[in-house]
Structure 1
Amino acid sequence: MRLDRRMIVDAMLGLARDEPHTRITFKRLGEALGVDATAMYRHFRNKDELTRAALDRITGWATDAGRASSGSWRQRLETHLMRTAELALEYPSIGAEGAIIDPVGPGDTSAVEFMLEMLAESGLRDAELLRAYAAISGFALSQSSALAHDVLRNPTAARDGSEPWISTFGSINLTEYPLVNEHRDALLAMDGMTVYRAGISAILDAVEMRQAAARPVA
């Protein structure tokens, strides 16, 4: 079999999906492909470079979902952002690296372009456009990576973002923390995907409110 970069990335994605609680090594990839692990180094300098290529692939998929969707700029952007989290959970050993490894590829660049397009369609320009992009991109990458980490470190974790955001307050006397005490049950019922959606909504709500305030009064 003649290996190429695409085949290796395909194999890494397959392992990440099928072995969600394992960090993929060149040795494991070699076993899956039926080749010696050293064959990977003919195509990728190291594991980080391969991870970048895999991240770039799933980032492109999330962007394709946004572009294929319909509706307002917000609805299309939300589709892209929700798909980002879903893919991080589907391929956790790859998604977990999203907050610290920059893919630097066509998929990643298309994601940046799409987010800027949608935010520009909302009416943002210049510094405000870039500030909104930074907020939404940074939150989506860090939180989707955190969701993927939950799956990686916990073999019993569901791959739908339903792991608790706060699992327990332990033996702390909550009467000393009145607001936490008041909302204790709701806080403990909150899961990771709820937090993700709330963050996305808060940022996009701010964009819409800023644009509404900027419109001239008739």
Structure 2
Amino acid sequence: MVASGPSTRRVRLDQRTIVDGVLELARTEPTSRVTFKRLGEHLGVDASAMYRHFRNKDELVRASLDRISGWASEAGRASSGTWRERLEIVVTRTAELSLEYPAIGKEGAVTDPAGPGDASAVEFLLEMLVEAGLSGDALIRFYAAISGFMLAHSSAMANEAFQRGHAARDGSIPWISTFGPITLSDYPLVDAHRDALLAVDGMAVYRAGVSAILDSVERAVTA
């Protein structure tokens, strides 16, 4: 398909090319919403051409999230170490990718990719938990805890990065930015730990949550 305009280029349009374009826009224009119109401009094709490959924007977002899930899974499979170390690589990479592509990453908690990348990520998480020694109901319960926390929090960080385009996309946005004008002496524990609480950022919360879940896995296996 040939683009119109002064800088005409030939684009071979398929699902992979379209997802490549979406992710490039999400990375370079972190506060811009995904639209077929903007994507068509970026790829140099008519926006209507996208509908031959994706029925709607939701389907396109699912495919893009599936790509991100696949990348995170690949990072884990390429790594070495204990089950915990490899699992931490995947969950950390998921957060990093969500922040790198915030317009897509922010949808991770509410959109099911339902593709090969997502299936590979689920398989990897289960493999690591089985290697840890889990099975049966405990395996599914801890998978749900890790997956749910990972997607919810990485999506929340991506959404904040999307809303605040000037902010660094490394999870360093403060978890608590201020306690406002209230009198903290009425809240003695908050007052005593004020500076430490204000120093916590989104990625620190993410790592703490994942660590707590994995500590619970180890205790469950030992018990």
Distance 1:106 1:186 in 2: 42
Measured against aligned partners, the alpha-carbon deviations of 1:157-199 in whole angstroms (never above 9, x if no partner) come to 1011000000000011111211111111111000000000000
Once superposed, which parts of structure 1, at least 4 consecutive aligned residues long, lie more than 3 Å away? none
Q: What is the 5 A alignment of 1:22-33?
A: 22-33=32-43
Which residue is 2:87 aligned to?
77
Which residue is 2:129 aligned to?
119
Unaligned runs of 5+ in 2: 2-11
Residue 178, structure 1, aligned to residue 183, structure 2: no
TM-score normalised over the length of structure 2 = 0.94
Which residue is 2:56 aligned to?
46
Comparing 19-28 and 77-86, the one that deviates more:
19-28
Residue 164, structure 1, aligned to residue 179, structure 2: no
Residue 102, structure 1, aligned to residue 112, structure 2: yes
Unaligned runs of 5+ in 1: none
Measured against aligned partners, the alpha-carbon deviations of 1:69-107 in whole angstroms (never above 9, x if no partner) come to 110000000000000000001111010000000000000
Tell me which amino acid in the other structure corresponds to 2:169: R
Tell me which amino acid in the other structure corresponds to 1:147: M
Count of matched residue positions in the alignment of Structure 1 and Structure 2: 213
Residue 146, structure 1, aligned to residue 152, structure 2: no
Identity of aligned residues (%): 69
Deviation at 1:36, TM superposition (A): 1.1
Which residue is 2:73 aligned to?
63
Tell me which amino acid in the other structure corresponds to 1:93: A
Distance 2:110 2:204 in 1: 23
Which residue is 2:98 aligned to?
88
Residue 206, structure 1, aligned to residue 203, structure 2: no
Comparing 58-67 and 148-157, the one that deviates more:
148-157
Deviation at 1:128, TM superposition (A): 0.5
Distance 2:43 2:166 in 1: 28
Distance 1:193 1:100 in 2: 20
Residue 129, structure 1, aligned to residue 139, structure 2: yes
Q: CA RMSD in A?
A: 0.8
Measured against aligned partners, the alpha-carbon deviations of 1:2-59 in whole angstroms (never above 9, x if no partner) come to 4111111110011011111111211000001111111111111110000000000010
Distance 2:161 2:64 in 1: 18
